[in-house]
Amino acid sequence: MVPLTMDQLKALAAKWLEIVKSKTEQVVDTQIAVSKSNGTVEDAQREKLTKLYSERKQLFDRYGAVLNSWEKKGGDAAEIKIYRDYQNAIFLEETRKADTKTLMAWALDWTTSQDGGIALAKNVGIVLISFLALLFVARMVRKLVRRWIGHVPNISDLLQAFVVGIVYWIVLAIGLMLVLSGLGVDVTPLFALFGGASIIAALAMQDSLSNLAAGLMIMIYRPFDEGHYVDIGGVAGTVKSTNIVATTVMTPDNQVIIIPNKNVWGNVITNVTASDTRRVDLVFGISYDDSIPEAIKILEQAVEAHPLVLKDPAPTIRVNELADSSVNLICRPWVNTADYWTVYWDLMRYVKELFDSVGISIPYPQQDVHFIPTDPAKATPAPAIKKTRSSDRASISEGDEGHDDDGR
């Protein structure tokens, strides 16, 4: 049929219609004979009917091939539909009127037919074997791409994982289409289907597309990478993974938080572990009666004694504030990023113990409240009342809660 023109195929379709019509007449005659017979004669007639069904199926397959070729070469769709409706009407009517024995005979014949069940089983086996082979090939390609992309400079782990995953699925998709084409399946309609579905999906999944675009921006501009400790719009934790839709963050108390990428890219991102070193900011308050030089000396001793504190940059220890209840000293050593919390907690404890050993106090927040009489000439001066409130005696980084009118 390949060299035939549209008009020639139209004439050929009419000839094949006569052929299948003639075979269908034989089928109908045999069906009538089966319905009027019984016993051994019925079995023989039913066997003949099954054979006729098989022969006619082969004829209808060729009939359908002619119609498909005619349609592909520009045949009139309405006219071709009439030919197809003839075939469909015959199958529908015969199936509706067939008895149980006939249907079982059809099924058994189709199962053992080379063009039926056996061909389907072969095709299914080919697809399964091909799919397993595709998985193996895709994994090998993914492994090679991962090894190659690992040598590309200035590319984040997130982008590497994304590119490797895309290559893996592309290899699977192309391989599957090649297998289907090899089995005679027309994959051209699949592309049209995917094109239409893509437009519908783009309209229905605008938020998902925003997440996709934001995910690509994250992977390209690399504000963070896997394993970094970040603060994204108030959500702080370690980045576990980022895909094209969302970023997964694990908090220090082991909660897993999934943030849509559009919320990640549209928020302020604080990357705590992007730098190799960090400054530990500590504030210690001492009493106004304590010796400032002695307190500074103790802080210097504590910082120098800690093995994780870096010598360069040098730590900063200064008087920072004359607060309401204390003289606040800042202590700012530099450490490797991974040692931040270890140094923070160690110095807090060590400085407190050293202050206690030499008698330097960390004062409670306190206020002096004075009652001022309305008529000082007539009223007896009221004694000053000191009001002291209990609070945590850890380091104080902010001032007291308020002042009276005297500023005390």
- 307-357 pLDDT, tens digit per residue, is 999 998 999 999 999 988 899 999 999 999 889 999 999 999 999 999 999
pTM: 0.45
Distance from first CA to last CA of the chain, Å, rounded? 106
| Sequence-ordered alpha helix ranges (H) in 183-205 | 188-204
In this predicted structure, what is the pLDDT of residue 194?
Answer: 62
Tokens 């997440």, located at residue: 211
In this predicted structure, what is the pLDDT of residue 379?
Answer: 55
For residues 347 and 359, give the distance between their C-alpha atoms in angstroms, rounded to a whole number.
Answer: 18
Average per-residue pLDDT for the chain? 79
In this predicted structure, what is the pLDDT of residue 263?
Answer: 86
C-beta separation of 348 from 395 below 8 A = yes
In this predicted structure, what is the pLDDT of residue 281?
Answer: 94
Q: Kindly state the helix (H) or strand (E) to which residue 286 belongs, with its residue range.
A: strand 282-286
- The pLDDT tens digits for 4-39 are 888 888 899 899 999 989 988 888 888 788 777 777
Look at residue 99 and tell me whether its pLDDT is greater than 70.
no
> Long-range contacts for 102-105 (Cβ within 8 Å, ≥24 apart)?
102/34, 102/46, 102/49, 105/46, 105/49, 105/50
Q: Which of 204-208, 226-230, 268-272 has the lowest mean pLDDT?
A: 204-208
Percent of the chain with pLDDT over 70: 78
pLDDT band at 145 (very low <50, low <70, confident <90, very high): confident
In this predicted structure, what is the pLDDT of residue 366?
Answer: 74
Closest to 280 in 3D by CA, of 348, 195, 184: 348
Domains of the chain: 6-113 (1.20.58), 119-204 (1.10.287), 209-271 (2.30.30.60), 277-388 (3.30.70.100)
Instruction: List Cβ neighbours of 48 (8 Å cut-off, separation of 6 or more).
Output: 30
For residues 46 and 129, give the distance between their C-alpha atoms in angstroms, rounded to a whole number.
Answer: 39
